[in-house]
Structure 1
Amino acid sequence: MTNATSTATTKKPAKATDNPVTLAIDIGGSGLKAMLVDPEGKPVSERERIPTPEVPKPTLVLEELDKLVGVLPDFDRVSVGFPGVIKRGVTYTAVNLNPEWIEYPLQAVLEKRWKRPVRVANDAAVQGYGAIYNRGVELVLTLGTGMGSALFTNGRLCPGLELGHHPWKKATYEDYLGRRGLDKDGKKKWNKSLQEAIEQTAHTFNWDHLFIGGGNTKKIDFELPKNSTIVSNETGLLGGVMLWKDDVLGE
């Protein structure tokens, strides 16, 4: 991938098609991922990944995304999962990236840059779309650089939850369950905090099923409740096709 010289900015505008290919992108605090998926949400390319820039300002992240897109085949539309609050394609928070993302028109910028229609949503919501059963109350938690969250009722997203930044114990959920909490407290205490958080969210949301994703799921060393599932990082890309369903974002 590092030898690629072409970028998506050189691609021609997409033609109308009955079977659109979606470029699914996941912007994370440590990595940028991309994959092409078909209308059913199945992969039609390899999953590509490169590190997130050390200083993850919008201009630098977009330059790296160009490199990812440049090594993939052509596509018709774009879905982006972003770690923060999104409203009508604008990023309003980016705690684990850079302040320059606040009120950044990411959707409009990418549409102009890549000459494709684009939809942007919270990354945990996109991962949820790739995992949920569309039955009852379903909560998604992602454990990575920060702690992402998404809540669904009968498959419909309740936007803007950002549970990671809610007060919990002496700080916030993310302070205990994000990477800084893991580094500060160690694996054993982090697992204990996660068990307590699962119990707390069960009482708060009365969820029917819990989905847990993110790179730090591999550090979980206790038995999860029977109505919970660990999902792969790939679901954060496969769920991207759902952003093109009518009114799915609930904005």
Structure 2
Amino acid sequence: MTKPAFGIDIGGSGIKGAPVDLDAGTLAANRVRIPTPKPSTPDAVADVVAELIGKFDVSDDMPVGVTFPAVIHEGVAQTASNVDKSWIGTDVDALLTERTGHDVFVVNDADAAGIAEMEFGAGRGASGVTIMTTLGTGIGSAMFIDGILVPNSELGHLTLHGEKAEAYAASSIFEKEKLSWKEWASRLQEYYSMVEFLFTPDLFIVGGGISKEADKFLPLLDLKTPIVSADLRNQAGIIGAAVLAKREKKSLVKQEKKAKKSEKKSGKPSKKKSA
């Protein structure tokens, strides 16, 4: 039996978390949600993350994965969506690790949802190029090649009609402009046709809250690529973050063992690679 990991999903309005059963791909306890602080500065959010973990019996060695609405490179936020702009340039990994006392591994929010779907949901066993999109305030994306994540794809930022695609076809626009399902599907058709042309995917997975009504718009799309709704819905971020944390923790342990072995052979301290 695989030991559980803890997943946290940071959003613009709420921060949610729960331990995850990594054998079943389900939450091991009811999730807890705490409103995202306003303003959502690094210190304020870090305090909420620590508070959230404190509501569960999280052992010292349990890895913690955290989704974040930003491009993440080596643990550092390169952008900031739906959170305070002071996050840009912040080492999110280091901040949350220091504040919580746990090994924390941060991942882009859409990438986390994609990881969950590839491991336990609609993308399980998929080969070739799989692209997951999350339709919400914007359009998030996660791209996989034979199950391997290509991080920070940000396909919602492709240009359609002189603006970001997400400003034209996100589900928030569907609601804001009070479009009919047919009108919105027409916009999605343009978007997915462009992505299909650029990447020739083997599978599209559609997530986000609106995916629960996928039967109202997916059948209206005419694509060469199969397109299906996500299975894990609003739990995908938490589950994907936990999966990522377990993988990264395992990789880090291997690196440390290799470094110690090298140090023992050479008699010289080796340079340790940080998580």
Q: TM-score range by the shorter chain?
A: 0.7 to 0.9
Normalising by structure 1, what TM-score?
0.82
In structure 2, how many angstroms separate the alpha carbons of the residues matched to 1:33 and 1:191? Answer: 31
Confirm whether residue 155 of structure 1 aligns to residue 160 of structure 2: no
- Structure 2 matches for 1:137-156, cutoff 5 A? 137-156=129-148
How far the C-alpha of 1:183 sits from its partner, in A, is: 4.6
After alignment, is 181-190 or 170-179 more displaced?
Answer: 181-190
In structure 2, how many angstroms separate the alpha carbons of the residues matched to 1:73 and 1:194? Answer: 43
Match of 1:202 in 2: 196
Structure 2: where are the runs of 5+ without partners? 119-123, 252-274
Which amino acid counterpart does residue 16 of structure 2 have in structure 1? Answer: K
Match of 1:173 in 2: 165
Match of 1:15 in 2: none
Q: Tell me if structure 2 keeps the 8 A contact 1:148–1:164.
A: yes
Match of 1:115 in 2: 101
In structure 2, how many angstroms separate the alpha carbons of the residues matched to 1:223 and 1:168? Answer: 20
Cα deviations by residue, 1:130-150 (Å, 9 ceiling, x for unpaired): 112241110011122222111
In structure 2, how many angstroms separate the alpha carbons of the residues matched to 1:53 and 1:180? Answer: 22
Confirm whether residue 45 of structure 1 aligns to residue 46 of structure 2: no
- Structure 2 matches for 1:64-75, cutoff 5 A? 64-75=48-59
Which amino acid counterpart does residue 24 of structure 1 have in structure 2? Answer: G
Change (3 A) 1:200 1:233: same
Change (3 A) 1:173 1:111: same
* Runs of 4+ in structure 1 over 4 Å off: none
User: Residue 35 of structure 1 is aligned with which of 18, 43, 59?
Assistant: 18
From the two aligned structures, give the one with the greater helix fraction.
2
Change (3 A) 1:218 1:42: closer
Instruction: Give the greater-gyration-radius structure (CA).
Output: 2
Which amino acid counterpart does residue 215 of structure 1 have in structure 2? Answer: G
Match of 2:228 in 1: 229
Normalising by structure 2, what TM-score?
0.75
Confirm whether residue 105 of structure 1 aligns to residue 104 of structure 2: no
Cα deviations by residue, 1:102-123 (Å, 9 ceiling, x for unpaired): 0111110111111111111111
In structure 1, how many angstroms separate the alpha carbons of the residues matched to 2:210 and 2:36? Answer: 17
How far the C-alpha of 1:191 sits from its partner, in A, is: 3.7
SS in structure 2 at match of 1:245: helix
In structure 1, how many angstroms separate the alpha carbons of the residues matched to 2:212 and 2:26? Answer: 24
Change (3 A) 1:175 1:236: same
Match of 1:238 in 2: 239
In structure 2, how many angstroms separate the alpha carbons of the residues matched to 1:81 and 1:229? Answer: 23
Change (3 A) 1:30 1:179: farther
How far the C-alpha of 1:179 sits from its partner, in A, is: 5.8
User: How much is the aligned-residue C-alpha RMSD, in angstroms?
Assistant: 2.4
In structure 2, how many angstroms separate the alpha carbons of the residues matched to 1:72 and 1:58? Answer: 22
Q: Tell me if structure 2 keeps the 8 A contact 1:57–1:98.
A: yes
Cα deviations by residue, 1:12-35 (Å, 9 ceiling, x for unpaired): xxxxxx944311011122322111
Structure 1: where are the runs of 5+ without partners? 1-17
Match of 1:8 in 2: none
Q: How many residues align?
A: 231
After alignment, is 198-207 or 182-191 more displaced?
Answer: 182-191
Match of 2:76 in 1: 90
Which amino acid counterpart does residue 188 of structure 2 have in structure 1? Answer: L
Which amino acid counterpart does residue 201 of structure 1 have in structure 2? Answer: V
Q: Tell me if structure 2 keeps the 8 A contact 1:128–1:140.
A: yes
